[in-house]
Every structure is written in structure tokens, then in C-alpha cells.
Amino acid sequence: MTAPARAFVTGAGGFVGQHLLPLLLEKTGWQLYCNAHSHKHTSKVEGRIRWVHCDLTNVGQTSEVVGQVRPDFVFHLAAQSNVQVAFREPEATFMTNVVGQLNLLNALRDTSPKAHILVPCSSEQYGMVWPRDIPIKEDTQFRPNNPYAVSKIAQDAQALQHFLSWNQCTIRIRAFNHIGPGQSDHFVTAAFARQIARIEAELQEPVLLVGNLEAERDFTDVRDMVRAYLVGIQHGQAGEVYNVGSGKGYTMQWILDALLALSTVRVEVRHDPARMRPSDIPVLVCDATRFRTCTGWQPHIPLEQTLKDILNYWRVKVKSETEAVTRNM
């Protein structure tokens, strides 16, 4: 009997990982080896999921764990992905994103040279694109305007270099904005939803603080994005790069208005200078033709449904947090 394929998921405890793991359990028979900060002190088995500890910035730990797992598929989700944090902590961002990936790729080259490696890159890499470049294709020039974007460009180039130098099967996906239930309120859509949920629960005054509402972004539900990751690692071409997104642009004002329309209370909106980036990108909208042609992938979940699910997630979470505080009083 042939042993099941092995998949290694880094950053498995994060926002995307929490949606990818159920999909892999449903759609594949793979044995899953997962790495996450929340399991950093333990190694435990949960059905087909085995949690392993590995600090990717540590060469020795990375080599040891990859050597033990010897994966057939790798989803490298581990990253510092918050732009504001990257401005404050550029060195730590580069260590996590660039050095961590370098150690992973080198360990895979030594022990699992035939592994299929999915490297999630970012639409932030394109940066201050010209209006003539919208919608954005894969050959659009990078004009990064924040340290996070620069770190993702380095990861992108690093993955390509490992394909060209050692024929490692790296597949790069430049993911445009993906949102959904479970995302941290460090990200704008979740920040809106959390504030609305707290106002509905009478935990804060009916004032919602916002940053730049004119920015236009391409939003995909995270549950559609993880489907793209799965079909990408299965059907994507080694060494290739693919944009993935909806191909539709929405302003942050539209997102805010849609969430407010779902609210049960009236809310005053105020601009908060602390929520403004030092440098922001006016428009990022995706041309995903290459990926759709290769894989047949299409997003299924309407943005309106995604926003409902995000707000309901925060309503439940705020209620749970409030009840926990009450119990401990």
C-alpha cells in the first residue's frame, strides 16, 4: 500500500492557515505536518495533523524538521504580513520573511528536492502602479512603497532563483487582498467589523475610527484564496508566477458602507491620523487571466457574503470576550 503524500504547512496557525487546513483535510488524503507559533512548545497529533516546532529563522531547527518530515508539498504561509508593523520593525520583517524562507528552501533542496513549494507573494509588491497598468499583470513593474512589499519581492525573487539554480519546484502566487472570518483586526476590514460589533454590544461609543477610505483594492474571500493555493500547488507550472484575485476593485469607503448597512446601530465615522500609512497605494486591481487559464480557478463567494461572515464572526468573538471578562470579575 502506497503511503499518503506529506504536506508541510508553515504558519499553519495564522489566518490563512486556519482556512487551508480544513480544505486540505477535505480535499486530499495527505498527511499534514504543521508549524505554528501557537504550538511552538509542543509536538502533538490531531488526526491527520501533526504539529511540529520549527523557528524558520534558525537554520538548525529548520533543517532538522524538514529532514524529519520530507514533504512532497509545502505551503509556506509563515510571514510577517502587517504593513504598519513592517514600517516599525523592518529588520524583524526581513528576518521572518526573507531569512526564514531562505532557510526553508535550502533545507528542502537538501532533503526533499522534488517537493512542490507554494510561495504566497503579495500584490503589495507592485506598489505605486501607474493608472495605465490597471488591471495589474504579472509583468507589471514593481514600485514598492513599504518594507513589507520589499520583503515579499525578495521572497518572490528567491523562489525564482531556487527554481533556476537548482530546479526546485517553486510556484509563486501574488495574492491580492484576501479577507474573511478569523482575520486579525490589524487589517482594515476586520478593524471596521470589530468596532461595529463593539458598538452594537455597547462596549464603546458609537464612533468608528478609519484611515484612508479612498484606496481601491481587489478583495477575495480567504476561503476562495486557499482553494487557489491548493489548485496552484497541484496544477501550477514550476518556476511560474501567478496573480490571484477577483479582478474587481472596491474602495474602502464601499467596504465601510456595506458593513455599516449590516449594522443594527447608527455610527459616526471619524478619520484617525494614526490609522493612515506613511505611504499608501491608490489602486490595486488584479488581472488573474494566467492563473485562471492554467487552473480553471474562479472565486465563488460574493463579497457581500464575506462581509456578513466577517461581521458575524466579530459579533460572536466580542460576546465571548465580554462573557469571559464577566466570569472573571
211-258 pLDDT per residue, tens: 889 999 999 999 999 999 999 999 999 999 999 999 999 999 999 999
User: Phi/psi of residue 35, each to 5°?
Assistant: -120, 130
pLDDT of residue 329: 62
pLDDT of residue 47: 81
Other CB atoms within a 10 A radius of the CB of residue 23 amount to 14
Other CB atoms within a 10 A radius of the CB of residue 317 amount to 16
Q: How far apart are CA 151 and CA 144, in angstroms?
A: 10
pLDDT of residue 44: 64
For 170, how many CA atoms within 13 A lie in the half-sphere containing its CB? 29
pLDDT of residue 322: 83
Nearest-10 crossing angle of helices 188-200, 252-262? 30
The closest of 248, 261, 182 to 217, measured between CA atoms, is 248
For residue 24, is pLDDT > 70? yes
Nearest-10 crossing angle of helices 100-111, 147-166? 20
**Which pairing describes strands 73-76 and 49-51: parallel, antiparallel, or unpaired?**
unpaired
**Which pairing describes strands 250-251 and 216-217: parallel, antiparallel, or unpaired?**
antiparallel
Other CB atoms within a 10 A radius of the CB of residue 129 amount to 20
- 48 versus 231: the higher-pLDDT residue is 231
Fill in the amino acid letter for 198.
Answer: R
pLDDT of residue 46: 79
Q: How far apart are CA 287 and CA 267, in angstroms?
A: 35
pLDDT of residue 175: 98
> Which runs of consecutive H residues, i.e. helices, occur in 167-266?
188-200, 222-235, 252-262
For residue 63, is pLDDT > 90? yes
The dihedral region occupied by 182, where left means phi > 0, alpha psi between -120 and 50, and beta the remainder, is: left
pLDDT tens-digit series, residues 110-147 = 999 999 999 999 999 999 999 999 999 999 999 999 99
pLDDT tier, 273 (very low <50, low <70, confident <90, very high otherwise): confident
pLDDT of residue 39: 58
- Enumerate helices (H) and strands (E) in the chain, giving the number of each: 11, 15
For residue 26, is pLDDT > 90? yes
Minimum mean pLDDT among 154-163, 170-179, 186-195, 264-273: which range?
264-273
pLDDT tier, 264 (very low <50, low <70, confident <90, very high otherwise): very high
> Alpha carbon 149 to chain centroid distance?
13
Q: How far apart are CA 241 and CA 253, in angstroms?
A: 31
For residue 279, is pLDDT > 80? no
Chain mean pLDDT for the chain? 94
Other CB atoms within a 10 A radius of the CB of residue 233 amount to 20
For residue 276, is pLDDT > 90? no
For residue 40, is pLDDT > 60? no
- 281 versus 34: the higher-pLDDT residue is 34
- pTM of the prediction? 0.94
pLDDT of residue 3: 83
For residue 45, is pLDDT > 70? no
What is the percent of the chain with per-residue pLDDT over 90, rounded to a whole number? 87
For residue 20, is pLDDT > 70? yes
pLDDT of residue 272: 82
Cell 515579499, residue located: 152
- 264 versus 280: the higher-pLDDT residue is 264
pLDDT of residue 73: 98
Cell, residue 273: 491620523
For CA atoms 9, 13, 15, 21, give the dihedral sign. positive
pLDDT tens-digit series, residues 86-113 = 999 999 999 999 999 999 999 999 999 9
pLDDT tens-digit series, residues 292-315 = 999 999 999 999 999 999 999 999
Helix/strand/coil for 218: coil
